[in-house]
Amino acid sequence: MIAPQSVGRVTPQVAHFAEPLTLRSGGVLPAYDLVYETYGQLNAGASNAVLVCHALSGSHHVAGHYDDAASVGWWDNLVGPGKPLDTRKFFVVGVNNLGSCYGSTGPKATNPDTGQPWGAEFPFVTVEDWVATQARLADRLGIRQFAAVMGGSLGGMQAMSWTLQYPERIRHALVIAAAPRLSAENIAFNEVARQAILTDPDFHGGDYYRHGVVPARGLRLARMVGHITYLSDDAMAAKFGRSLRHGKAVYHYDVEFEIESYLRHQGDKFAGFFDANTYLLTTKALDYFDPAFEHGGSLAAALARAEAEFLVVSFTTDWRFSPERSREIVRALVHNRRPVSYAEIDCPAGHDSFLLDDADYHGVLRAYFDRIEV
């Protein structure tokens, strides 16, 4: 059964880029593929394109479904005919970032120099590199300027970076549940996750593919730590509380509290399909993102280049990227006299709120998209 406001069945496409790409880290990719999906129609003036950027474990599969009707896109509640990002008005593009394990060139892909998977040799990628490749894809699709670029979390950082790298190519930036840079605490959580992977005996220095194993234990732990930061204390208390599987303490290390069951399940599920090298690269991209760094730490100075209008959204219970981090962005934008609106949504689900369809949240997004002229 297909939901009435669904974009329906979708097919990913591949864009091959034969020109070498020099990355911020100094690494070079001789050629690469980007996997992407589009929804809706690009209008004659190519003025209705919206790019949706994905977060840590996301992909190009933003909306609709594949042959398996359960394979629904990760932001399907937002994108579709009649939805807040209305595909009857907009041409929506979802692209898988370099370094990912969902089809775009990443550590699992073959290094043409060696004929082996890139593995640990895959160069470090940054938010800026992703944005640069998204711009190349836009060129390929005939999109000179996006009506809007939007993203949540790490995706919001890409939207922000678009306004700095290509100020003339983006009219609106929607920066949701994001931060202008990671805090020491954010980096600390990422480092714990990375150490879990790097110290897994099955990691083999990143070249586990040729050993026919995956560092599943490390990846599982990494995901468990991550999940704690995506939820809120309130959400965990409401969902799990101190519920005991056996109704009382039984004094062993198997699952007793339901939260343990939840985290183990999430960790196992994730370790079953996600690539450990991608997880390492992506958390490093998060850590490195800091547009203010080259401007003496001044975010206001960094954002002086931006020409877009902004919508910044945060969630009250998000402690990974708290509302105060979004307010930093807002203040820097007002300093630069940028048109900016800011909404702080009262939603109990923590960082994960940005993926939900809270009525206030989607009401704000709908109102914003409705007034974008195409």
Partner 1 sequence: MRYDRFDFDVITEWISPGERVLDLGCGDGALLRHLTAARQIQGWGVEKDIERVRACIANGVNVLHLDLDQGLSGFENGFFDHVIMSFSLQAMHNTQGILAEMLRVGREAVVSFPNFAYWRHRQSILNGRMPVSDSLPHQWYNTPNVRFFTIADFEALCEMDDIVIHERLAFDEGKVVLEEPNFLASAALYRLGRRGLSRP
Q: Is 342 in the site for partner 1 (CB under 8 A)?
A: yes
Q: How many residues does the chain have?
A: 374
| Contact criterion met (CB below 8 Å) for 354 and 152 | yes
- Strand ranges for 205-301 from DSSP E: none
User: Measured from the CB of residue 24, what is the shortest distance to partner 1 in angstroms?
Assistant: 31
User: Measured from the CB of residue 300, what is the shortest distance to partner 1 in angstroms?
Assistant: 9
| Contact criterion met (CB below 8 Å) for 217 and 190 | no
CB of 285 or CB of 306, closer to partner 1: 306
Tell me the per-residue interface mask from 258 to 297 with partner 1, x by CB under 8 A, - otherwise: ----------------------------------------
Considering only residues 334, 348, 355, 356, which one is a binding residue for partner 1 as defined by CB under 8 A?
Answer: 334
Catalytic annotation, residues: 153, 318, 351
Angle at 91 between CA 172 and CA 283, to 5 degrees: 60
CA dist list (Å): 211 to 105, 204, 276: 21, 8, 14
Q: Which residues contact 110 (CB under 8 A, 6 or more apart)?
A: 116, 117, 118
Considering only residues 154, 345, 349, 355, which one is a binding residue for partner 1 as defined by CB under 8 A?
Answer: 345
Q: Is 335 in the site for partner 1 (CB under 8 A)?
A: yes
User: Measured from the CB of residue 367, what is the shortest distance to partner 1 in angstroms?
Assistant: 4
Which span sits near partner 1 by CB under 8 A: 69-77, 215-223, 229-237, 338-346?
Answer: 338-346
| Contact criterion met (CB below 8 Å) for 174 and 153 | no
| Contact criterion met (CB below 8 Å) for 149 and 174 | yes
DSSP letter at 1 equals: -
How far, in Å, CA of 305 to CA of 336, rounded?
9
User: Measured from the CB of residue 337, what is the shortest distance to partner 1 in angstroms?
Assistant: 6
Q: Is 330 in the site for partner 1 (CB under 8 A)?
A: yes
Q: Is 321 in the site for partner 1 (CB under 8 A)?
A: no
What are 148's strand-pairing partners? 50
User: Measured from the CB of residue 314, what is the shortest distance to partner 1 in angstroms?
Assistant: 9
Considering only residues 173, 178, 221, 364, which one is a binding residue for partner 1 as defined by CB under 8 A?
Answer: 364
Q: Is 298 in the site for partner 1 (CB under 8 A)?
A: no
CA dist list (Å): 178 to 136, 220, 319: 24, 24, 11
Considering only residues 39, 189, 208, 368, which one is a binding residue for partner 1 as defined by CB under 8 A?
Answer: 368
Phi/psi for 306 (5° steps) reads -65, 140
Helix (H) / strand (E) containing 332: helix 323-335
User: Measured from the CB of residue 364, what is the shortest distance to partner 1 in angstroms?
Assistant: 5
Which span sits near partner 1 by CB under 8 A: 2-10, 36-44, 88-96, 364-372?
Answer: 364-372
DSSP letter at 360 equals: H
How far, in Å, CA of 94 to CA of 50, rounded?
9
Considering only residues 12, 266, 331, 336, which one is a binding residue for partner 1 as defined by CB under 8 A?
Answer: 331
Q: Is 340 in the site for partner 1 (CB under 8 A)?
A: yes
Number of neighbours of residue 264 by Cβ within 10 angstroms? 14
User: Measured from the CB of residue 118, what is the shortest distance to partner 1 in angstroms?
Assistant: 44
Would you call 126 helix, strand, or coil by DSSP?
Answer: coil
Considering only residues 147, 311, 349, 355, which one is a binding residue for partner 1 as defined by CB under 8 A?
Answer: 311
Q: Is 148 in the site for partner 1 (CB under 8 A)?
A: no
Number of residues that bind partner 1 (CB under 8 A): 22
Where along the sequence are the contacts to partner 1 (CB under 8 A)? 311, 327, 330-331, 334-335, 337, 339-346, 360, 363-364, 367-368, 370-371
